[in-house]
Amino acid sequence: MSTGSEHTRPSILIVDDEFGLAEMLRELLAEAGYDVRLAINGRLALASLRERRAEVVLTDVMMPVMNGPELARALRQDEQFRDTCIIFMTSLTSALQAEARLGDAVLEKPFTPERLMATLRQLGRA
């Protein structure tokens, strides 16, 4: 039974085909108390989310199989995922253009851990 005094952090799905970055982000967010999972492309991310939802999807923009904007579009079109917070990560903000509206925030690579945590706080996910 919950006493109401605990605060659990949201679950986060990191979607990136760059394993080193994904693993570094996983460690950082896990240390900050988040429940973190990884997927290497949008298609695997969708399969993972259908198994177990995540409150936040932190996704790269440029990936093979299904890229970040395609993943975001699929999530926004699915009733069960419409309220999922989507944060895009990209070194080419011009690659997003109109698709940026599909997400809740954009982090320009490279970004600092502090910037990531500040973005999560601004979105009410910290």
In a domain, 117, yes or no: yes
Euclidean distance between CA atoms 37 and 88, whole angstroms: 16
Q: In this predicted structure, what is the pLDDT of residue 126?
A: 81
Give me the helices (H) in 60-112, please.
68-77
| 106-124: pLDDT as tens digits | 999 999 999 999 999 999 9
Residue 108 located in a structural domain = yes
Note whether residue 2 is domain-resident. no
Is 6 contained in some domain? no
Q: In terms of pLDDT, which residue wins out, 75 or 6?
A: 75
Residue 60, both tokens:
């790269």
Q: How many domains does the chain have?
A: 1
For residues 69 and 2, what is the distance between their CA atoms, to the nearest angstrom?
A: 38
Q: Which tokens hold the place of 21?
A: 């970055």
Identify the pLDDT of residue 66: 95
Does residue 47 have a pLDDT over 90? yes
Tell me the C-alpha distance between 68 and 74, whole Å. 10
In a domain, 1, yes or no: no
Instruction: Give the pLDDT score at 95.
Output: 66
Rounded CA-CA distance 83/55 in Å is 8
Q: What is the CATH number of the domain that holds 52?
A: 3.40.50.2300
Report d(CA 59, CA 107) in Å as an integer: 10
Q: What mean pLDDT is predicted for residues 19-37? A: 96
82: in domain: yes
Please check the confidence at residue 12 and state whether its pLDDT lies above 70: yes
Does 69 reside within a domain?
A: yes
4 located within any domain: no
Range of the domain at 22: 11-122
Q: What is the pLDDT of residue 67?
A: 94
Are residues 85 and 56 in contact, defined by beta-carbon separation less than 8 angstroms? yes
